[in-house]
Structure 1
């Protein structure tokens, strides 16, 4: 009697195991990998900052040209009567300083606008491009901020040591500051524009996808370019920052992958 009960229990457990192994995990066909990959593949989004950098370069060049023309016509050649028709009771240095502050505000807005779009690019997985342009996009703002400080020192010295004989010297110093700003700021903007235009033209895949693609062709899982871990020739802060950016991107990518997987699974179940 006991032998029959034991045999029956074994047969029932075997039937349950076989039924579980034969039943599919989901009702319906499995999701093809190509469908899921195409569903989560993000369309490349170009950076709309190159045209703004070109516009800012033109504004800076126009500001420099008008400032030099105003300084030469009203201060160096001392055409006071003709200048009064246009600048009224304002001094030439005051007008240049006000225009310079307006230009600095435009550059500050440009820096914030560019930072916003570059942060979105980093979240989309373009970590290498973000790090390569991180300091470049800030340089014009720092250059003009230093120029404002130099302007303030020169104008303060002019107010402290009032002398008609030295007024022309202060104007030359102000023009020298403008020349230095033009020589350092415009190349940065042009170089940034070239890098952004190359990025938009190439339309590369995110960094992690490029590494997977290269590893698939090479047949090895080389970690030379990923810089995971500490090396004597690398900075700890840089390695930690790269890992943090990569982890943040992978978290967002996995979240999107889970949402698309659930959506496609529920859609196949309904069909």
Structure 2
């Protein structure tokens, strides 16, 4: 193992992890051979995989900026991922300097890097805790979350590129609803989810084969993803491919470009 591939004690690098595979796709350095191997398997059958990851990251920035502009000053980011430019607190605090963020992830290496790369500032607070989206009550009760999130005021709830790791039997819709039940009216849900809707049939079949083999993510169709979001009123333009969600001026929205973005995105407001 090279020095770059050394891992701290307690970090399992025998199996790929979503945060590290995603890190590889967006050009990060915190990933290991097993993560890179799986990422390259996806790229081999669906070359747009890395484009999709970058689109998702860009959506996160636009959506958090939108939420902060709507007055949201506290965010619960579940499935944080390894720190990269444009982290939730960085975007939010550009709009609301006092914004607070509770980061949650189930990979110890994410928290180790988060604590090192997201130091305290003279702006709002950030905390980090271990947690799994499949156990929402534990996340909501975590002291690190309660330290910065006031659940009596509107919250920005981020489920960005995380629900596609939740199996049907684990009830993704129920998880979303349990989290939404904990936040008050006026809260915003920021969500994204991969899809095979735009993949050629043979590529979609091979992606699903890789997912089954690696017990990894599960792309879903638009209608299924929409069914997870019934607890909020979607803001315009609704549930759309990432580049179409309030794009910046000059964004390439040609059919050819959109065919490379196999992720749906949405922001919804709890009534």
TM-score by length of 1: 0.21
Larger strand percent = 2
Larger helix percent = 1
Which of the pair has the greater relative contact order for Cα pairs under 8 Å at 6+ separation? 1
Of structures 1 and 2, the larger Rg is shown by 1
